[in-house]
């Protein structure tokens, strides 16, 4: 039930319950608990095959795109990439998708948050300035690589 708890706490409470779900065929996704959980939620579960990744082609393409981006991003930020992974995700969620013409933020939130609102003016606190300079460096790098 740990997986069910995680799904509720990190997915369902923000986005609601899905009507259907495409899942890999791992044992954790074919167990009796998993089937009962989704049956009671009224969610249809479709299992994709490892030998036919086209079953879930849209997700497979997105995973490949993110994989390429992370390889490039982590290569140039080997000592600090995990610290700024949030900015990389923010950049990914700000990228307009050719299939919808919208960014993921627009699809989920209905609007596009500011891309990187800092104007470069220094503050009176060096630690704040450093955080913004590093974040801007990572944001620029991530956004450039995604485009």
Q: pLDDT tens digits, residue range 19-38?
A: 988 877 777 777 888 888 88
Kindly report, residue by residue over 39-86, the tens digit of the pLDDT: 999 998 887 766 665 666 777 777 787 787 778 777 777 787 777 778
| Residue 55 resides in a domain | no
**Do residues 30 and 86 both lie within one domain?**
no
Domain of residue 66, residue span: 62-146
If asked whether residues 33 and 98 sit together in one domain, one would say no
Strand partners, 23: 47
Residue 57 lies in a domain: no
Query: 42 with 71, same domain?
Result: no
Upper half-sphere CA count for residue 14 (Cβ side, 13 Å): 7
Is 43 in the same domain as 18?
A: yes
The model's confidence at residue 145, banded by pLDDT at 50, 70 and 90, is confident
Give the pair of three-digit tokens for residue 73.
Answer: 């991003």
Residues 74 and 111 in one domain: yes
Total tally of structural domains belonging to the chain:
2
pLDDT score at 105: 92
Q: What is the pLDDT of residues 104-129, one digit of tens each?
A: 999 988 998 887 777 778 889 999 88
Residues 98 and 72 both lie in one domain = yes
User: Does 83 lie in the same domain as 141?
Assistant: yes
Q: Domain check: are 43 and 82 in the same one?
A: no
Please report, rounded to a whole number, the percentage of residues in the chain having pLDDT higher than 90.
10
12 has pLDDT over 80: yes
Q: Is the pLDDT score of 6 beyond 80?
A: yes
Same domain, 9 and 39: yes
pLDDT for res 50: 64
d(CA 118, CA 140): 12
Residues 82 and 134 in one domain: yes
- Residue 102 in this model has a pLDDT that exceeds 90: yes
Closest CA to 137 of 98, 91, 97, 68: 91
Residue 53 lies in a domain: no
Domain assignment present for residue 124? The answer is yes
Prediction pTM value: 0.61
Q: Using CA atoms, how far apart are residues 135 and 115, in angstroms rounded to an integer?
A: 12
The pLDDT > 70 percentage for the chain reads 93
């Amino acid at each position: 039930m740990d997986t069910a708890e995680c799904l509720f706490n990190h997915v369902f409470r923000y986005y609601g319950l899905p009507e259907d779900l495409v899942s890999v065929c791992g044992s954790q996704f074919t167990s009796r608990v998993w089937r009962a959980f989704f049956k009671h939620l009224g969610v249809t579960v479709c299992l994709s095959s490892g030998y036919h990744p086209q079953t879930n082609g849209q997700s497979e393409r997105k995973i490949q795109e993110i994989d390429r981006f992370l390889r490039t991003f982590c290569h140039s930020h080997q000592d600090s990439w995990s610290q700024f992974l949030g900015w990389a995700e923010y950049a990914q969620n700000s990228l307009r998708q050719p299939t919808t013409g919208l960014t993921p933020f627009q699809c989920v939130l209905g609007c596009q948050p500011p891309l990187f609102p800092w104007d470069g003016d220094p503050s009176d606190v060096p630690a704040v300035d450093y955080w913004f300079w590093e974040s801007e460096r990572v944001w620029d790098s991530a956004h450039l690589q995604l485009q």
